[in-house]
Amino acid sequence: YIVSQNGSIYALDVATGAVNWKSQTDGLIFGSPTVDSGRIYIANDRGIVFGMRADNGTILWRSDVEGGVFAPIVSAGDTLYVTTAAGTTFALSAEFGSTTWKYDAGGSGGAALGEDVVIVAADDGSVSAIDRESGAITWSVATGAQITVGPTISGDIVLVASGQTLYAYDVETGSQVFTYATGNTIQIPPIAVNGLVLVGGRDGYLDAIAGDQASET
């Protein structure tokens, strides 16, 4: 499933690249589509979220979240979590698109899903843990620099790229575990794989961080 910025979404055959179907929506789409349980979820720069059938592209519902959406939607099965550039996070029903709760923190970078919380990294540099069921705030910290990419959860740690620094926080408490200064603005979400944390900066370097040691490759 591929979206184009003009609001089109395509379903392509993996083996051949043939177009199985195409569906047209309005507005500009910047985030990748989210696919879960036979549905596709996309959102545009006008703050309209679409729920669609994955087999034929039929639009099942649309919901207005009052702010442009530039990051992929996070799905937890029955519930979707959407962050907006207007600084709000919405929990929506995956079946109907109705609002379950909303919280006044959010941004263009997106969110990450923990076992009990959803982690939201806001454009203003704040990082918040919100209870997935109730929408109540669990903890919040400030990094002091703009956040433009989404957070990553690895085990009991949430990784957040803010400005030129990578921050690691405890998912349950929000306490800071470590920081790592890259020397240039981080432009991709942190990736955790095989005991390493990888971040890429505007200077063209990929930094690989392991434990309390850091090395550049």
Listed residue (44, 43, 27, 33) closest to 10, CA to CA:
33
Q: Which residue's entry shows tokens 């994955």?
A: 54
The per-residue pLDDT for 215 is: 37
Which pLDDT value is given to residue 18? Answer: 97
Query: Is 84 in a helix, a strand, or coil?
Result: coil
Low-confidence residues of the chain: pLDDT under 50: 212-217
CB neighbour burial string for 164-181, b if at least 16 within 10 angstroms, e if fewer: bbbbbbebeebeeeeebe
pLDDT at 106: 87
In whole angstroms, what is the distance from residue 175 CA to residue 1 CA? 38
Conformation bin of residue 182: beta by default, left when phi > 0, alpha when psi is -120 to 50: alpha
Q: What is the largest CA-CA distance in the chain?
A: 50
For tokens 């609001």, the residue is 7
The residue among 29, 106, 26 whose CA lies nearest residue 66 is: 106
Q: Which residues in 57-212 belong to E strands, given as ranges?
A: 59-64, 74-75, 79-83, 89-93, 99-103, 111-113, 117-121, 126-131, 137-142, 152-154, 157-162, 165-170, 176-181, 191-193, 196-200, 206-210
pLDDT computed for residue 133 by the predictor: 95
Alpha carbon 148 to its chain's center? 10
pLDDT score, position 211: 62
Per-residue pLDDT at 214: 39
Per-residue model confidence (pLDDT) at position 90: 97
Tell me what pLDDT residue 188 has: 86
For the segment 178-216, what is each residue's pLDDT rounded down to a tens digit? 999 998 899 889 999 988 999 998 888 899 998 644 333
Model confidence pLDDT, tens digit, residues 125-140: 999 999 999 999 999 9
